[in-house]
Amino acid sequence: MSFVFYDTETTGLATDFDQILQFAAIRTDADLNETGRIEIRSRLRPHVIPHPGALRVNGMTIGEITANDLPSHYEMMREVRSTLLEWSPAIFVGYNSLNFDEHLLRQALFQTLHPPYLSNTNGNCRADVMHLLQEASVFEPSGIEIPKDAYGSAIFRLEDVARRNGFSGHIAHNALEDVLATIHLARCIRDNAPDCWNRFVRFSKKASVSAFIEDEDAFLLTEFYFNRPYHYIIAVFGKDPSQDNVSLGLDLRVNIDWLTSLSTPQLLEFVGQSPKRVRRIRTNAAPMIASLEDAPDAVKGGLSDSEIINRATRFKADKALHSRLVAATMEARAKREVSPFIEERLYDTFISRDDERRMELFHSVDWAARVQIVESLGDDRLRYFGRRLIHEYSPLLLSPALRAEIDYAIRSRLLAHEVPDGKWTSIPVAARMTEKLLRTASGRAYEQLSEYRGYLTMAATMSSR
């Protein structure tokens, strides 16, 4: 199977509200030899205000991202999707992509009326090279050099790890350069930590993960928090009834007899305690899992393999306890309320087949014909994004009332002095941040921020009209 390594540069870190400004991807064969590439930028969308910190990091100026000769965001996503579908099926890989870039890609597809789950449908699967490096740092530490800070803590920033492992001349926070650095690190692990690489490829596939965790009496699950590894000896006891891709497992360092003796209220308290001994394993998100024989003894919590198997055998035979744990886990889970912001509702429900057909038709007709298609969509999220697309590219096709409604909604966001939980960047928020950054900026950074300050002043004036 081929790989698609990809990266994005964006207007900020808010994956629901920010925008991809640059997308790059390189397709390789199974031996990591390049077989194709795409690199494309887009201009800024009218309802998005970049975070000034993001511009400082990626080095883009406001003039560069508003240039009229750039493709529109919609045009960029049409080309990106076409290329990625042409390259499918493949293993989609990034660096910290499962926590960031993939969400940006899904939102960009969703908000331009495309099916969002491209990287794990059509025969595709996904993995993350940052997770691969983290795993190698535990299982095969001689295979990769991980830099450390002054306190001895591991540093997994792409530019630092790539430089330490021989990738020279890296221009950090350029999407294409970051893709090349990611491929370089993947080759390092393939060549120097082959067991980790083989697990990486194997467990990028949901079917392989599902088969492994069901077949093994017990296995090692490793998760990283704040660049530190945490290990759990897991026996699977069920699935999340609301999410077919999530299996539930118990950390076998728990005393099984004690667990069985708990009353229902005590069991509910147990599953809610931290650190959580009931772990959620996302079978379609390349979890860091390994068999007991591959796990170093130091991470087994002082338990021998025979003791682990004995506990697993006893636990797996207690189906009544399994049912009680599933029920307690579901009850302890915080109730998720429907967000008032459409952008945060991507995962609320799947798109219907009828709406998928309407979405496909939307892209094959002119803007005038798209109005009726958008209004026929059964999903209110898709109608919202469809109307916003038409407003962005051909606003006069909308009724005066609808155009005024969208104008007001965009203006309200752009001019908000306070943004709930910092969900997006408004003009006043960006202006305050820019002034703060200007106090310590010099040289090119000062020029970049000064230009951006002028843009914000102009944008505030235009939005207030």
The CATH code of domain 1-194 reads 3.30.420.10
The domain segmentation of the chain, as residue ranges, is 1-194, 205-335, 348-414, 429-465
Q: What is the pTM of this model?
A: 0.95
pLDDT for 37 equals 98
Check whether 338 has a pLDDT greater than 80: yes
pLDDT for 170 equals 79
CA distance 435 to 452: 10
> If you average pLDDT over residues 86-114, what whole number do you get?
98
Residues 6+ apart with CB under 8 A from 380: 342
Residues 389-417: pLDDT tens digits? 999 999 999 999 999 999 999 999 999 99
Percent of the chain's residues with pLDDT above 70 = 100
CA distance 123 to 194: 25
Task: Let me know if domain 205-335 sits in CATH 3.30.450.40.
Answer: no
Q: How many residues does the chain have?
A: 465
The rounded mean pLDDT for the chain is: 95
Q: Are residues 69 and 61 in contact, defined by beta-carbon separation less than 8 angstroms?
A: no
- For helices 194-202 and 175-192, what crossing angle results, to 10°? 120
In 10 A of CB 368, how many CB atoms?
10
> If you average pLDDT over residues 249-274, what whole number do you get?
94
Residue 351 banded pLDDT, cuts 50, 70, 90: very high
- Listed residue (70, 74, 75, 160) closest to 111, CA to CA: 74
Q: How does 159-177 read in b/e, with b if 16+ C-beta sit within 10 Å?
A: bbbbbebebeebebbbbbb
Residues 207-226: pLDDT tens digits? 999 999 999 999 999 999 99
Looking up tokens 């009931």, which residue turns up? 278
Q: Are residues 88 and 124 in contact, defined by beta-carbon separation less than 8 angstroms?
A: yes
Residue 304 banded pLDDT, cuts 50, 70, 90: very high
- Listed residue (149, 98, 159) closest to 126, CA to CA: 98
- Listed residue (176, 184, 149, 145) closest to 161, CA to CA: 145
Q: Do domains 1-194 and 205-335 have the same CATH topology?
A: no
- Enter the DSSP assignment of 69: T
Going by their DSSP bridges, the two strands 90-94 and 2-10 should be labelled as parallel
Residues 377-392: pLDDT tens digits? 999 999 999 999 999 9
Check whether 337 has a pLDDT greater than 90: no
- Count CA within 13 A, CB hemisphere, residue 257: 1
Residue 242 banded pLDDT, cuts 50, 70, 90: confident
pLDDT for 172 equals 76
> If you average pLDDT over residues 118-123, what whole number do you get?
94
Check whether 156 has a pLDDT greater than 90: yes
